[in-house]
């Protein structure tokens, strides 16, 4: 079963996240049924305490689900992902506008 294409993306990272998830599925890292069940559970849990906005919240939940999958499979452990996220944040905050963002060695 292939992934259905979303009707729209509000930001480029949402399209990239979708494409990455589809590529990981097509490479056999997880089944689409497994993915949709986990994503549905994330949406349900996140929506229990507040209304979802249908875009930002949707893709935040999508990212959370993918990060959990990658952690559980050992492809991107949560601690490593957190360190990488922090390094990128520090790098882009320290980069002058218009210059390429570079991670420190």
d(Cα 55, Cα 73) in Å, to the nearest integer? 27
Is residue 16 one of the residues assigned to a domain? yes
Is residue 31 one of the residues assigned to a domain? yes
pLDDT tens per residue across span 18-30: 999 999 999 998 9
Closest among 15, 24, 5 to 66, alpha carbons compared: 24
Q: How many domains does the chain have?
A: 1
The residue range of the domain holding 34 is 12-94
24: tokens are 């990981």
Is residue 6 one of the residues assigned to a domain? no
61: tokens are 């939940």
What percent of the chain shows pLDDT beyond 90?
52
**pTM of the predicted protein model:** 0.76
């Amino acid at each position: 079963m292939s992934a259905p294409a979303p009707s729209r993306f509000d930001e480029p990272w949402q399209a990239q996240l979708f494409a990455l998830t589809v590529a990981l599925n097509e490479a056999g890292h997880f089944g689409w049924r497994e993915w949709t069940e986990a994503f549905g559970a994330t949406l349900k849990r996140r929506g229990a305490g507040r209304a979802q906005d249908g875009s930002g919240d949707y893709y935040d939940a999508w990212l959370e689900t993918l990060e959990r999958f990658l952690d559980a499979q050992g492809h991107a452990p949560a601690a490593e992902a957190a360190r990488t996220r922090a390094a990128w944040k520090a790098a882009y905050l320290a980069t002058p506008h218009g210059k390429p963002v570079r991670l420190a060695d």
